Amino acid sequence: MDSLIWSSLSWYLVPLLLLLLLLVLLEQIFYLKKKGTLPGPSLVFPFLGNVVPLVRNSTRFWETQSDLAQTSPLGVSANYIIGKFVVFIRSTDLSHKVFANVRPDAFHLMIHPLGWKFFGDHNVIYKFGQDHKDLRRLLAPNFTPRALSVYVSIQQRIVAEHLARWLRLSNGTPICLRRLCRDMNLDASQNVFFGPYLSGESKERFNFDYKLFNVGLIKLPIQLPGFAFRKARLAAKRLVETLGGESS
């Protein structure tokens, strides 16, 4: 009986395993063909690529890509992440050429592989043509020399306050600045764009959701309750509601 069951299972398992091996082989060939002579991993993990190193330590991952790109005369390096062939561009001139050709039939700004789920497809970074121009025209008054001069004075005051606070916290010893800098940037942005109109409660709610949002950007895109990706998407909606409620 056992041998009969095993025989029946093997009848299905062997073709499935062969199909799986074929898919893995084709994936490696696809990657190597696109990679060509560009610096990058010689082989990639099946289906996932190098998403695990990216999620575990995104800073180190991109620093490695940058170092590899520096060894190329083109100033680029290659990698593979969840079925996507990725090219990292270090060259300033090449970056300018890419951004100069952002249009429907050429390059698209993504910001994040699933950015449209976070920022919405109505965001200015995903618009083209007249829609893009109209939205930029609405935003332009916020970035005139006069407006920027107002922002600078507010930012200078906020930065000075935070630097003084850091000095008190350090007490003459080294301290980690990463989260402190993030809090300073949040404080500066909120005061620049909303001034006194953003209540203390709204600021706390915004800061909490913003942290969830940033964590979700570097986590696996698992859309299930309790996972960072889903928390980030929900946080993005609440951020819009918080700012929309304060500005109305």
Q: Output the pTM of the full model.
A: 0.69
pLDDT at residue 78 tops 80? yes
Collapsed DSSP state (helix, strand, coil) of residue 167: helix
pLDDT at position 27 is 94
pLDDT at position 209 is 94
From CA 217, how far away is CA 58, in angstroms rounded?
10
Selected residue with higher pLDDT from 38 and 223? 38
Percent of the chain with pLDDT over 90: 49
pLDDT at position 185 is 93
pLDDT category at 195 given cuts 50, 70, 90 is confident
For 153-181, what is each residue's pLDDT tens digit?
999 999 999 999 999 999 889 999 988 99
135 CB-near residues (< 8 Å, 6+ apart): 124, 127
pLDDT at position 200 is 85
- For residue 232, the Cα-to-chain-centroid distance in whole angstroms is 12
Selected residue with higher pLDDT from 155 and 130? 155
From CA 148, how far away is CA 138, in angstroms rounded?
16
What value does the mean pLDDT of the chain take? 87
For 9-60, what is each residue's pLDDT tens digit?
666 777 888 889 999 999 999 999 999 999 999 999 998 899 889 888 888 9
pLDDT at residue 77 tops 90? yes
Q: What is 132-196 written as a DSSP string?
A: HHHHHHHHGGGGSHHHHHHHHHHHHHHHHHHHHHHHHHHTTS----HHHHHHHHHHHHHHHHTGG
From CA 99, how far away is CA 167, in angstroms rounded?
40
pLDDT at position 247 is 55
pLDDT category at 7 given cuts 50, 70, 90 is low
